[in-house]
Amino acid sequence: MSENLPVMALPDPVEQEDPLVGLTVDGRYLIERKLGEGGMGVVYKIKHVVLQKDLAMKILRADVSKDQEIITRFRQEAQSASAIGSQHIIDISDFGTLKDGSTYFVMEYLDGVELSDVAEGEEPVPAERVIAIAKQLCDALGAAHDRGIVHRDMKPDNVFLVKRGNNADFVKVLDFGIAKVGGANSKLTKAGQVFGTPHYMSPEQCSGQSVDQRTDIYAVGVILYELACGKVPFDADNLMGILTKHIYEQPIPPHQLPPPHDVPPGLEAVILKALAKSTDQRYQSMAEMRADLDLISEGATPGAVLDAVKRNTTPLIRPDGTGAHSAMTMGIGGEAPAEASKAPIILGAVVGLVALLGVGAAVYFLFLAGDDPTPIVEAQDPPPAPDPVPDPVAVEGTEGTEGTEGTEGTTEPTEAPPPAVAMITVVSEPEGVEVWVVDPTAGETLAGNTPFELPRPPAGQFVNLVLKQPGFTEHPIRVGQFTSEQVSVTLHASSGGSTGGRSSARRRGNQTGTTTTPVTPPPTEETPPARRRGTGVGSEVLDPWAR
């Protein structure tokens, strides 16, 4: 019976007409159509009725125009962008008020694509294109920083690529709505406030600390990582998970991501330096970052590689004053002897190696390890001599006779035995302490007890270990190609009553003493990595003003 019922078609929903479309503002700006809208503002394509020039107009909603702080921030966005005077910053030419009290400003119309559309493509962006875009971002933000303006919300959504002459990727930076203007005496920026978009926020932003130009440098590092690798360096299912990773976790180097990514070592070094947790270990200016990018384009080794070499060959000092030293016998506790004189010798040897090889990539993969806050110990003795290669031809003779031809024996070549695997032994005082292997994605795994043997890692690879024993201070060790055949470690009693062992295992970088959710290992080749941001938190802006 239901088959005979007439088919009822629902009418298509009627799109509500925008009352501003078709309106002429101040006798010179004809509003043609809506381009997009954000939390508090709407952007329209307009035309100057006299000049017949296409422009764009950003209008603050009437219902929020009564908030004086929002009005001030809206005006600050217009003033900040227009004061910079860079060809890579969107030009703002007018500011005014509509009859209903809504505030607006007029800016150039950009006919191009958002960088976010490029980042969300099927494949990672080629390195040459990433470098070209990065140089322009450095020029744009460098001009802003010279004016005392920090953008604070750098992300692909706020970067436009337009065609300018022969350059199809001419960069335009926009949306200075939450910019920090140096010297501005206002309450727009309060201590402890968190501004920005989670995936691109610096550690100091995530923790509500004061920011400077190095916050923008960190955000550019995230953008370049995303373009080159097809995913952001830190992602999680919720907001706090993302913020926590920015503060405590190290990014996975692009060359370690599955599947392999074609990111040149020099570009990888630049990206990782920009993503340093400590502001002092990042680039200190956009001009400095631009100089390294220019070196990559010229085929030279960027300074980021040599900075990593220097940082990883200098003895690391603990907060309590004790040090981690490159020696065969290492201990923790008490006043560590000064070994500052060894650092220049090691550094000189490494720099000499760079000059000898003439390849910055080899130095980078051998020494670059990021600015990990955990002290690392690596013994830098010369590599052991290779085992002698056995004679590939053995002579088979009569039973009990070796090396001579028997009455019935024949000479036949036999397969050479595989070369012996070089092993490294870790011994400790006291004996029998637990040896944990630290993996940047899987966390810590109990591997055995001392004395503990492990194969010598190949060139450019390292194994991070932590020695634990109840009642003793944990001791980290890094084992590499040049580590001694035997490493001796002395554990010292913990003054704080640390229990050590399995119960004391914490995620690396967690300084609060509370456990956090383990990081999901990177997806395998069969499971393509999720691109860009996690579901539900990708476009969330932690700020009362959004474009």
Q: Where are the beta strands (DSSP E) in 178-224?
A: 180-181
Residues with Cβ within 8 Å of 245's Cβ and at least 6 positions away in sequence, in order, are 234, 235, 236, 519
Q: What residues pair up with 316 in beta bridges, in sequence order?
A: 324
The rounded distance, in Å, linking the Cα atoms of 322 and 333 is 7
> What amino acid is encoded at 157 in this protein?
D
DSSP 341-401: THHHHHHHHHHHHHHHH--HHHHHHHH-----SS------PPPPPPPPPPPSEEE--STT-
Helix (H) or strand (E) holding 144: helix 127-146
The rounded distance, in Å, linking the Cα atoms of 264 and 254 is 9
The rounded distance, in Å, linking the Cα atoms of 147 and 135 is 19
SS (H, E, C) 392-411: CEEECCCCCCCCCCCCCCCE
**How far from chain centre, in Å, is Cα 27?**
49
At residue 141, φ and ψ (nearest 5 deg) are -75, -30
Helix (H) or strand (E) holding 204: helix 203-206
User: What are the CB-based long-range contacts (under 8 Å, 24+) for 505-511?
Assistant: 505/436, 505/443, 505/444, 505/468, 507/248, 507/443, 508/248, 508/249, 508/372, 508/374, 508/438, 508/440, 508/443, 509/248, 509/249, 509/250, 509/372, 509/373, 509/374, 510/248, 511/248
Q: Pick from 133, 86, 460, 166: which is nearest to 297 by CA?
A: 133
The rounded distance, in Å, linking the Cα atoms of 315 and 304 is 19
- Check residue 503 and report its DSSP letter: G
Q: Is 108 helix (H, G, I), strand (E, B) or coil?
A: strand
Residue 157 is among the residues annotated as catalytic for this protein: no
Q: Is 190 helix (H, G, I), strand (E, B) or coil?
A: coil
Do residues 313 and 346 touch, judged by C-beta distance below 8 A? yes
- Check residue 121 and report its DSSP letter: S
The rounded distance, in Å, linking the Cα atoms of 410 and 419 is 26
Q: How many CB atoms lie within 10 A of CB 535?
A: 9
Residue with tokens 């040149």: 264
* CA distances, 217 to each of 141, 263, 281, 395 (Å): 9, 19, 11, 67
Catalytic residue, candidates 100, 117, 146, 153: 153
Sign of CA dihedral 352, 357, 360, 361: negative
Sign of CA dihedral 145, 149, 152, 156: negative
The rounded distance, in Å, linking the Cα atoms of 316 and 492 is 18
- Residues designated catalytic: 153
